[in-house]
Amino acid sequence: MDVYEGLEGEKVLNLSRLNLDNLDLDDVGEERKRDTQQLFLVYNRFIMLPGSICHFSNLVFLDISCNRLAFICEDILRLSKLKTLVAKNNRLDEFSLPKDFGTMSLEVLNFSGNRFEEFPSEFLNLQRLQSLSLGGNRLKSIPAEIEQLTSGSKVLVYHGFRPECATKLYMQITVQLALQFSLMCNVILRHFSLIIQTQTDFTKLKHAALHILELLYLGGNSITSIPPELANLPYLSYLVLCDNRIQSIPPQLAQMNSLRSLSLHNNLLTYLPREILSLFQLQELSLRGNPLVVRFVKDMTYDPPSLLELAGRTVKSRNLPYKPEDLPGNLVRYLDLASKCPNPKCGGVYFDSCVRHIKFVDFCGKYRLPLMHYLCSPECSSPCSSNPQSDADSEDESSVPAHRMQKVLLG
């Protein structure tokens, strides 16, 4: 919902349902043009965003939904105070936007019900964007570059550091937070000059785009996979991917600690990654209309590990010391690829030979979700450490820690 609340009277101009195909502002006084903060042009016949719109110099909210918009002209860039743009149910695609669209200060953007086939790269430069809706379009994929949409608000925590701590501080923060420092540099250069000197990658950081994104609505498209980079949006709390063609969820999504609501219904998922259990903030999870397996038939044809694998496992699990000079380069690289068995009681590792195992776990108000993980061998038992009662028919709530109990609400 993009409802702009609280304004009345002179600040709102409603020109909806007037059969308009051009915006003749002769009848609108200069004062009205200056004072208007919300403009509604819904249900008209505009094919292009009218250039005269830039006369509303203080416009904050624009809704031009349900027209025939195929093109947004450059004049929109002159609306320097525009925070919300709603253009649902039009004919826009990735070629409809002006070149410098990414320089706008938009916080809320709703382009649902249009004809986007590709995620417009201009969106990735919108540094203030908090909410993005592209539902009901024709998107086939989500670009990996989406991780550029990260938050800027947390940098204030570091605002009051002392210069002597600067180097140490820089070592501790992630690249993303370092990117945010470079944005703050333009505002409070003195405090951060020390940080700039210690940053070796400053030139690279300077050109990266920074954004805030909390809501991403991509339901009703033709997306087949989710890039793991989506997990690098640290403030994303509402992610909608329903009504697409997604076959699997990358385990990296489990890093999204801010995720509160995840919509995955009507896709092609057969299981979920076990890592999803670590989304402790998750309160809403929709999974209906996915071909989730109800029963998992253990794969009886387990390919026994090769001699190489067995040797590698022994070296790793017994911590046999070796130096890179001791072994041929290809074997050193092979040993580096060892994966730890997820079973916390098993100190083992595996390389290529592992067993896929599905465990049915109650999670987030859902009953017996099939969670996939890998084990080093068929004899190894699966961990599912967060829910020790997972094989039981009903969840024993006393064993589920309080912070994992989820609100289950219904109407």
Partner 1 sequence: MEQTEVMKPETLNDLIKVLHQIFSSDTVNVEEVQNLMESYESKPEEWMEYAQFDKFRYTRNLVDEGNGKFNLMILCWGEGHGSSIHDHTDSHCFMKLLQGQLKETLFEWPDHKINGGMTKKSERVLQENQCAYIHDSIGLHRVENVSHTEPAVSLHLYSPQFDQCNTFDQRTGHRNTVKMTFWSKYGERTPFTYYCGKHIVKVALCVQ
* Closer residue to partner 1, CB minimum distance, 128 or 260: 260
- Of 133, 180, 182, 267, the residue at the interface with partner 1 (CB under 8 A) is 133
Q: Which is nearer to partner 1, 307 or 409 (CB)?
A: 409
Least distance in Å: CB of 292 to partner 1? 6
Binding partner 1 (rule: CB under 8 A), the pick from 10, 299, 303, 397 is: 397
| Strand-strand pairing, 108-110 and 349-350 | unpaired
55-64: long-range contacts, CB 8 A cutoff, minimum separation 24: 55/25, 56/13, 57/33, 57/81, 58/34, 60/4, 60/84, 61/4, 61/37, 61/86, 62/38, 62/86, 63/2, 63/38, 63/39, 63/87, 64/90
Q: Does 124 bind partner 1 (CB under 8 A)?
A: no
Q: Which of 141, 224, 261, 377 binds partner 1 (CB under 8 A)?
A: 261
Is residue 275 a contact residue for partner 1 (CB under 8 A)?
Answer: no
What track of x and - describes contact with partner 1 for positions 320 through 339 (by CB under 8 A)?
--------------------
Site for partner 1 (CB under 8 A): which residue of 11, 91, 265, 340?
Answer: 265
Binding string, residues 229-248; x marks residues near partner 1 by CB under 8 A? --------xx-x-xx-----
> CA-to-CA distance for 58 and 35, rounded, in angstroms?
7
The residue behind tokens 């349902």 is 17
- Angle (deg, nearest 10), helices 175-185 and 189-198: 140
The residue count for binding partner 1 (CB under 8 A) is 42
> 169: helix, coil or strand?
helix
> Of the ranges 34-42, 118-126, 130-138, 339-347, which one interacts with partner 1 (CB under 8 A)?
130-138
Is 109 a binding residue for partner 1 by CB under 8 A? The answer is: no
Instruction: Specify the stretch interacting with partner 1 by CB under 8 A; choose among 98-106, 173-181, 214-222, 334-342.
Output: 214-222
* Helix pair angle (307-317, 329-336), 10° resolution: 70
The residue from 141, 258, 283, 377 that contacts partner 1 (CB under 8 A) is: 283
Provide the token pair at 224: 């087949």
Angle at 105 between CA 101 and CA 107, to 5 degrees: 105
From the list 69, 73, 101, 104, the residue with the least C-alpha distance to 88 is 69
CB 142 within 8 A of CB 223: yes
List the one residue from 50, 136, 152, 342 that touches partner 1 (CB under 8 A).
Answer: 136
In the complex, the residues that contact partner 1 under the rule CB under 8 A are 1, 3, 88-89, 112-113, 133, 135-136, 215, 217, 219-220, 237-238, 240, 242-243, 260-261, 263, 265, 283-284, 286, 288, 292, 294, 365-368, 395, 397, 402, 405-411
